[in-house]
Structure 1
Amino acid sequence: MTDLELAEAIARQAGELLLGLRGCGLFAGKSLGRAGDRVANAFILEALREHRPGDAVLSEEEQDNPARLEARRVWVVDPLDGTREYGEGRADWAVHVGLSVDGQPALGAVALPGLGEVLGARPRPLPALGAPLRMLVSRTRPAKEALAVAEALGATLVPMGSAGAKAMAVLRGEADVYVHTGGQYEWDNCAPAAVALAAGLHVSRVDGSQLVYNNADPYLPDLLICQKQLAPRVLDALRGEAGVGTAQQG
């Protein structure tokens, strides 16, 4: 099994476990989210130990092991991205299984279990752009920078939950631009970045620089995903927004 096939299989099965847990009726709300985090994390870690025992792992739900900093290959996973949405019975949550090689998002898979879909890091045709453009924002706390960029582009807003769901919405043709400045960690965007890059999208920090993974501090606060022809316009709008390089978590 290739690394990509493994990532897709793990993400798919973790998503099925999460759907089963949500449907059992024993948990609800925040307790459901906590249980989902634990169940999915345990499954993903066990699967990686079984199939890639020599690789390091960085997971949101696991105590960090500094030994990963010496590893070339590091699996960067978010067992349940969008815990709130999952606990509320919504569909805009995801499972992230990414692989960083030498600090780059080499490959990954993002499962959207609520939609019955797994998107792996494979080439794919890109959807047509909307008219007007559609900008993804947090459904609960849209960042002021994203709102300012949407205004500069004349874009309509598309509120959505998890980072993975928003990133994949660009590939799925549900939106055109995903700008995030509200604070993320490596597990929030490694797998989505790998999938978006393989599809031929522009993926960067909001200052246009590359995303780099397996850092001692996994805080990676900002992200831009869009089609390549849009990137210069979006980056120009971001540069015109004061304070865009000093994003705060939220």
Structure 2
Amino acid sequence: MAMTDAALAAHLAQVAGQLLIAVRTSGVFADKALGKAGDATANQFLCHALRAQRPEDALLSEEEKDNLERLAASRVWIVDPVDGTREYGEARADWAVHVALAVDGVPMLGAVALPDQGRVLRSDQPVPVPPAPEVLRMVVSRTRPAPEAEAVAAMIGAELVPMGSAGAKAMAVILGEADIYLHTGGQYEWDSCAPAAVALAHGLHVSRIDGTPLVYNQADTYMPDLLICRKEHADMVLARVAEVSAASR
């Protein structure tokens, strides 16, 4: 029996994660060479596998030359072979593999593998999201936290939680390790498509910081910002973001 799209996404993300760990533990790469080898290995696997399993669909990968013929396609697989290359190289737990399917621009399904945590979170198998604590926690970049996120966190009394990849940050909200992922530093479609699909399937709020939906398979793959949080916190966070944006004008 052929795998469903969601099962395929989860399987490929998991196997790519296993390949990446094998590359890292092989001991033949160091420093930047490790990241390049990991990216190339995972990308080759994911792209070959998707073209073999879903030959009629289009494909967008961070590590692949963009083919703008995808713009005419309804179904587009969007993958990030290693989200958080620095964290991968340091054998930290906050890196991820993203595999998602966007249909007519909507992140319909996906999977985010957290290989060093032994986890794959997937859109077709949602798990209960733990309740929020009294003091909310906001995940931010561990190397360059966005000033807007820091300002909003101060306004709502949230604790900042530094973390690596976008996928790890988004999954931290699902896993109850954080409550808000607010990003204004710019990303690309492959950074957020799978996390967005998985977060939506878990009943979370997912949007741009002006409240509009995230739209994928665009000619320009740059995505300036996003918000992922529990639905009960969305209006509060969006209002504070608007205040911060107005004050900075």
3-state SS in 2 of match to 1:58: strand
Deviation of 1:245 (Å): 10
Partners of 1:245 and 1:52 lie apart in 2 by 46
What is the aligned-residue RMSD (CA, Å)? 1.3
The one-letter code sitting in structure 1 at the alignment partner of 2:146 is A
* Equivalent in the alignment of 1:52: 54
Which of 91, 101, 107 in structure 1 is aligned with 2:93?
Answer: 91
Change (3 A) 1:244 1:207: farther
* Equivalent in the alignment of 1:216: 219
Deviation of 1:88 (Å): 1.4
Summarize deviations over 1:178-210 as a string: whole Å, max 9, x none.
000001000000000000000000000011000
* Equivalent in the alignment of 2:16: 14
* Equivalent in the alignment of 2:145: 142
Partners of 2:248 and 2:107 lie apart in 1 by 22
The one-letter code sitting in structure 1 at the alignment partner of 2:135 is P
3-state SS in 2 of match to 1:182: coil
Deviation of 1:74 (Å): 0.2
Report if the CA contact (8 A) 1:206-1:245 is conserved. no
Deviation of 1:125 (Å): 1.3
Please list, as runs of the form range in 1=range in 2, the aligned pairs for 1:231-242 lying within 5 A after superposition.
231-242=234-245
Structure 1 residue 162 corresponds to structure 2 residue 165: yes
* Equivalent in the alignment of 1:31: 33
The one-letter code sitting in structure 1 at the alignment partner of 2:106 is Q
Report if the CA contact (8 A) 1:148-1:241 is conserved. yes
The one-letter code sitting in structure 2 at the alignment partner of 1:161 is G
Deviation of 1:130 (Å): 1.9
Deviation of 1:156 (Å): 0.5
Partners of 1:152 and 1:210 lie apart in 2 by 24
Which of 109, 115, 118 in structure 2 is aligned with 1:116?
Answer: 118
* Equivalent in the alignment of 1:230: 233
Report if the CA contact (8 A) 1:130-1:175 is conserved. no
Which of 40, 43, 56 in structure 2 is aligned with 1:41?
Answer: 43
Among all aligned residue pairs of Structure 1 and Structure 2, give the percentage whose two residues are the same amino acid: 65
Deviation of 1:9 (Å): 0.3
Report if the CA contact (8 A) 1:201-1:227 is conserved. yes
Unaligned 5+ segments in structure 2 are none
3-state SS in 1 of match to 2:155: helix
* Equivalent in the alignment of 1:174: 177
Report how many residues are paired. Answer: 246
Report if the CA contact (8 A) 1:75-1:97 is conserved. yes
Deviation of 1:115 (Å): 0.1
Deviation of 1:166 (Å): 0.3
Report if the CA contact (8 A) 1:196-1:202 is conserved. yes
* Equivalent in the alignment of 1:61: 63
Partners of 2:15 and 2:88 lie apart in 1 by 16
Structure 1 residue 130 corresponds to structure 2 residue 98: no
Unaligned 5+ segments in structure 1 are none
3-state SS in 2 of match to 1:208: coil
| TM-score, normalization by structure 1 | 0.96
3-state SS in 1 of match to 2:227: strand
